[in-house]
C-alpha cells in the first residue's frame, strides 16, 4: 500500500501487527512502545523523521484508549498525571537541549548510546532484583491469578524497596500535597516534579516517551501502586505525546495514514493489555516488565556494533 505523505510503500498488515504488539505492551505496562515502533517503521524504509513523528501520533490514540479503560478500572490518578505532564514537558526540553549541545561537540551518537545501555540495563537489573525479592517475601497462592475483587485489593501492592520509598515520601519540602486516589496521604510536590522532569529528560535525550523510566520511578520513588502507575503513566503519555505529535506534524514529520493503520492494531492490543493487568499482582507486572528495557538496550548495542541505523 502506498502512503503518499511519507512517500513509502508498506504492507498494511505489517503495520497492524506491529501496532497490535505495541498496544498489548502499552496497555499492560503503561509504555508508549517507541523502542519497537521506531525501528519497525525504519525497517520498512520510512524516513527517520517520519518514523518518530508517526510513532508519536499512533501512541496518542492508543494511550487514550488504554487510559480510558484503565480509568474505568480505577487505575488513573488524574491529579498526579497532570503534575507529571508539566514536569515531563519541561524535562524533555532539557534533554533535547543536551542533545543539541552534544551535537555541537560532535559526539552525540556515542554518548547517547552508552547512556541508553547503562540506563536500560540498570532498570532491568534493579526491577528483576526488586520484583523477585518481593515475590519471594510475600509468596502466597492467591497472588498467582486474581479474580476482580482480589485484583482490586492487590492494587496496594508490596515492594522490597518499600522502606526507601517511605523515606522519600517523608521528605518535607513545601508544598506538600495528597494523592488520595493513589493512597498517598502526603508527598512533596517537588518529589513528583523531580520524577517527572527526570523521565522527561530521558524522553528528550533518548527519544520516545520514556515510559520504561517513568513507570518504575512512579512505583519505587513515589510509592504509587503498580496498577495506578501504569494507568497514570498512560494518561500522562496522552498529554506529552499529543504535544509531540503537534510539533512534529507542523515540521512535516507525521504520516497520519500510517498512524491510523498502526492504530487499528494498537487499540485492539491496548484493550487486551489493560484487561490482562487485572489478572496479575503488582510485583508480577514489574517482573514481566524486565525484558522491555533490555530489548531497548539490545537494539542500541546492535546499532553500535554494526553501524546500522534503524
Partner 1 sequence: MKPDAAKSLRVFAAELVIYTVLVTGYFFLVLHVLGNWLYRLETQHRVLYAVVALLLIAGQAVVLDSVTTVLFRLLRRRWR
* Pick 3 or 161: Cβ nearer partner 1: 3
Kindly tell me which residue out of 8, 36, 55, 62 binds partner 1, with binding defined by CB under 8 A: 62
Site string for partner 1, 4-43 (x = CB under 8 A): xx--------------------------------------
* Pick 65 or 195: Cβ nearer partner 1: 65
Among the listed ranges 114-122, 135-143, 224-232, 247-255, the one in contact with partner 1 (CB under 8 A) is: 247-255
CB of 176 to partner 1, least distance (A): 35
Kindly tell me which residue out of 155, 263, 284, 286 binds partner 1, with binding defined by CB under 8 A: 263
CB of 65 to partner 1, least distance (A): 5
Kindly tell me which residue out of 124, 154, 159, 271 binds partner 1, with binding defined by CB under 8 A: 271
**How many CB atoms neighbour CB 100 within 10 A?**
11
Residues 145-164 that bind partner 1 (CB under 8 A): 147-148
Which of 135, 288, 112, 302 lies closest to 201 in space, CA to CA?
A: 112
Site string for partner 1, 104-143 (x = CB under 8 A): ----------------------------------------
Within the chain, where are the H helices? 12-29, 34-43, 48-72, 78-105, 108-137, 148-153, 162-169, 189-206, 211-217, 226-250, 256-277, 282-289, 291-306
Number of residues forming the site for partner 1 (CB under 8 A): 32
> Angle at the Cα of 21 (from 152 to 276), degrees rounded to 5?
15
* Pick 99 or 256: Cβ nearer partner 1: 256
Identify whether 175 is preceded by a cis peptide bond (ω within 30 of 0). yes
| 8 A C-beta contact, residue 255 and residue 50 | yes
Among the listed ranges 111-119, 135-143, 192-200, 242-250, the one in contact with partner 1 (CB under 8 A) is: 242-250
Task: Give the containing element (helix H, strand E) for 185.
Answer: strand 184-188
CB of 252 to partner 1, least distance (A): 6
Which of 98, 82, 87 lies closest to 239 in space, CA to CA?
A: 82
* Pick 118 or 153: Cβ nearer partner 1: 153
CA distances (Å), origin 82, targets 64, 135, 248: 15, 32, 22
- 70 belongs to the binding site for partner 1 (CB under 8 A): no
| 8 A C-beta contact, residue 11 and residue 1 | yes
d(CA 293, CA 124): 6
| 8 A C-beta contact, residue 70 and residue 231 | yes
281's torsion region: left (phi>0), alpha (psi -120 to 50) or beta? beta
- 240 belongs to the binding site for partner 1 (CB under 8 A): no
Which of 3, 78, 36 lies closest to 269 in space, CA to CA?
A: 36
Among the listed ranges 93-101, 202-210, 227-235, 248-256, the one in contact with partner 1 (CB under 8 A) is: 248-256
CB of 280 to partner 1, least distance (A): 14
Kindly tell me which residue out of 215, 261, 290, 297 binds partner 1, with binding defined by CB under 8 A: 261
By the criterion CB under 8 A, which residues form the site for partner 1? 4-5, 57-58, 60-62, 64-65, 68, 147-148, 242, 245-246, 249-252, 254, 256-257, 259-261, 263-264, 267-268, 271-272, 275
Amino acid at each position: 500500500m502506498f502512503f503518499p505523505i511519507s512517500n513509502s510503500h508498506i504492507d498494511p498488515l505489517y503495520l497492524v501487527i506491529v501496532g497490535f504488539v505495541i498496544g498489548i505492551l502499552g496497555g499492560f505496562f503503561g509504555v508508549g512502545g517507541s523502542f519497537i515502533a521506531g525501528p519497525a517503521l525504519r525497517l520498512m524504509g520510512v524516513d527517520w523523521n517520519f518514523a518518530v513523528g508517526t510513532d508519536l501520533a499512533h501512541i496518542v490514540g492508543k494511550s487514550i484508549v488504554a487510559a480510558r479503560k484503565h480509568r474505568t478500572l480505577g487505575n488513573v490518578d488524574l491529579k498526579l498525571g497532570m503534575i507529571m505532564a508539566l514536569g515531563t514537558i519541561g524535562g524533555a526540553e532539557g534533554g533535547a537541549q543536551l542533545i543539541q549541545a552534544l551535537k555541537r561537540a560532535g559526539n552525540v551518537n556515542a554518548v547517547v548510546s552508552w547512556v541508553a545501555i547503562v540506563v536500560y540495563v540498570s532498570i532491568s537489573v534493579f526491577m528483576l532484583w526488586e520484583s523477585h525479592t518481593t515475590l519471594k517475601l510475600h509468596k502466597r497462592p492467591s497472588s498467582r491469578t486474581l479474580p476482580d475483587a482480589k485484583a482490586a485489593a492487590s492494587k496496594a501492592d508490596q515492594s522490597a524497596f518499600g522502606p526507601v520509598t517511605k523515606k522519600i515520601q517523608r521528605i518535607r519540602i513545601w508544598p506538600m500535597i495528597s494523592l488520595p486516589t493513589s493512597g498517598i496521604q502526603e508527598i512533596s510536590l517537588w518529589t513528583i516534579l523531580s520524577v517527572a522532569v527526570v523521565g522527561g529528560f530521558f524522553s528528550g535525550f533518548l527519544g520516545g516517551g520514556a515510559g520504561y523510566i517513568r513507570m518504575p520511578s512512579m512505583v519505587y520513588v513515589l510509592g504509587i501502586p503498580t496498577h495506578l502507575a501504569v494507568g497514570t503513566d498512560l494518561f500522562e503519555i496522552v498529554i506529552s505525546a499529543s504535544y509531540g505529535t503537534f510539533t512534529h506534524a507542523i515540521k512535516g514529520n507525521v504520516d497520519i495514514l500510517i498512524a491510523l493503520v498502526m492504530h487499528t492494531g494498537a487499540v485492539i492490543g491496548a484493550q487486551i493489555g489493560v484487561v490482562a493487568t487485572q489478572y496479575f499482582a503488582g510485583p508480577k507486572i514489574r517482573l514481566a516488565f524486565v525484558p522491555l528495557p533490555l530489548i531497548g538496550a539490545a537494539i542500541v548495542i546492535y546499532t553500535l556494533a554494526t553501524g546500522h541505523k534503524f
